[in-house]
């Protein structure tokens, strides 16, 4: 349904659950603008209208990063960050001059909501959607994941709504199972996701990926307990047969694994109920777009909520079948005629 292009690799953050900065580094490296624009134009010539800018963090230099670097006596780091930021704007300016109906989406941090100049450039470059890692709605949860740069409460709602003011739809990502979560966290998160005007949302259980800070901490604690499944240490859960593999790994102080799983599923069901999907589809300009939104919402829910969280094998199998059906329905809605003579903007 869409193609993908990478424009920058590396993320300067160090979120505890994230593997990106461990595998790709914390030093952002941007591809040359000409190479990116040529690739985007080539894909549109082939008939791809929707393009994912599959970056670790498209907003690789925040205003706060610049402010902190400017305070250093050695200005070399500041100059480097400023050059990276200017390259981002050069890329978006060139993309804005591609004479076609391209629609792009990407990944950014919530700090971009404070940068109106950047948001205007995104809108001009036809970047209409972005995944934003919200993770937790509490200060304690953000602190535990090293995401103190995010907001909470009404300030969080305000920042997320700010993206919509610039025509950027947000896929908000939340994590359940943090040590500070309580049974009330699920309903509170669902309420905030609706009030913030998120177009899409995903709710995932905390998973300790190898190499992350969370994994290293969990591995040290778990090895002492010698927990295993069929002789395989739980810290090597990817080697456990799928049918026997637990859905949640990190022990929680006040909730069982099943309580977290059921709470997560309930939030998915609540956010992606038909009434909610149809209400959110009103932001789409045409009936074709609204229908596409409905089907994509259902496809997304089937792919992630049911196949990824459900423990019942029958439910998983049914979810896979529905995902395939929705996928076939959605594909024509994303198709576009090739434009073989599309020019690369100077």
Residue 28's contacts (CB-CB under 8 Å, 6 or more residues apart) are 8, 9, 10, 11, 12, 56, 57, 60, 61, 84
Residue-level pLDDT at 302: 79
How many CB atoms within 10 Å of residue 27? 13
How many CB atoms within 10 Å of residue 267? 22
Q: How confident is the model at residue 304 (pLDDT cuts 50, 70, 90)?
A: confident
Main-chain phi, psi angles of 3, to 5 degrees: -105, 170
Could you tell me which of 303, 270, 143, 299 has the C-alpha nearest to residue 198?
270
87-142 pLDDT, tens digit each? 999 999 999 999 989 999 999 999 999 999 999 999 999 999 999 999 999 999 99
267-277 pLDDT, tens digit each? 999 999 999 99
How many CB atoms within 10 Å of residue 138? 18
- DSSP lists the bridge partners of residue 103 as 50
Domain boundaries, the chain: 3-211+246-272, 212-245, 273-336
How many CB atoms within 10 Å of residue 172? 26
Q: How far is CA 206 from CA 202, 250, 251, in A?
A: 12, 8, 10
Average pLDDT score over residue span 17-28: 92
Q: 85 by DSSP, 3-state: which?
A: helix
Strand (E) or helix (H) holding 135:
strand 127-135
Could you tell me which of 51, 81, 53, 52 has the C-alpha nearest to residue 66?
81
Give the right CATH number for 3-211+246-272 from 3.40.190.10, 3.80.30.20, 3.60.15.10, 2.40.30.10: 3.80.30.20
Q: Is 51 exposed, middle or buried (0-12, 13-18, 19+ CB in 10 A)?
A: buried
Residue 319 has pLDDT above 90, yes or no: no
Residue-level pLDDT at 308: 53
Could you tell me which of 90, 5, 57, 153 has the C-alpha nearest to residue 345?
90
The two tokens of residue 142 are 């953000």
Residue 248 carries which DSSP code? -
Residue-level pLDDT at 331: 83
């Amino acid at each position: 349904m869409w193609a993908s292009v990478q424009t920058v690799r590396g993320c300067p953050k160090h979120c505890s659950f994230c593997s990106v900065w461990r595998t790709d580094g914390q030093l952002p490296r941007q591809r040359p603008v000409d190479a990116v624009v040529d690739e985007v134009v080539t894909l549109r010539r082939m008939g791809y209208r929707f393009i994912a800018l599959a970056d670790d963090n498209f907003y690789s230099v925040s205003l706060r990063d610049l402010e902190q670097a400017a305070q250093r006596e050695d200005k070399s780091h500041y100059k480097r960050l400023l050059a990276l930021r200017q390259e981002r704007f050069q890329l978006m300016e060139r993309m804005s001059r591609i004479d076609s109906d391209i629609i792009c989406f990407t990944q950014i941090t919530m700090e971009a909501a404070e940068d109106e100049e950047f948001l205007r450039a995104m809108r001009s470059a036809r970047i209409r959607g972005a995944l934003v890692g919200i993770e937790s709605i509490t200060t304690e949860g953000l602190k535990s994941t090293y995401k103190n740069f995010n907001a909470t409460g009404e300030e969080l709602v305000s920042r997320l709504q700010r993206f919509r003011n610039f025509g950027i739809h947000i896929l908000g990502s939340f994590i359940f199972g943090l040590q500070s979560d309580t049974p009330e966290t699920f309903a509170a998160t669902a309420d905030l996701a609706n009030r913030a005007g998120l177009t899409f949302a995903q709710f995932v259980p905390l998973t300790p990926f190898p190499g992350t800070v969370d994994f290293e901490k969990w591995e040290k604690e778990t090895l002492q307990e010698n927990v295993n499944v069929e002789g395989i240490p739980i810290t090597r859960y990817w080697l456990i047969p799928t049918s026997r593999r637990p859905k949640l790994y990190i022990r929680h102080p006040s909730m069982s694994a099943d309580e977290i799983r059921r709470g997560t599923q309930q939030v998915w069901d609540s956010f992606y109920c038909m009434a909610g999907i149809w209400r959110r589809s009103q932001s789409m300009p045409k009936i074709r777009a609204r229908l596409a939104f409905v089907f994509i919402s259902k496809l997304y829910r089937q792919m992630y909520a049911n196949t990824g969280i459900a423990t019942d094998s029958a439910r998983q199998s049914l979810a896979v079948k529905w995902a395939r059906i929705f996928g076939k329905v959605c594909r024509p809605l994303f198709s576009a005629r090739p434009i073989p003579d599309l020019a690369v903007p100077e």
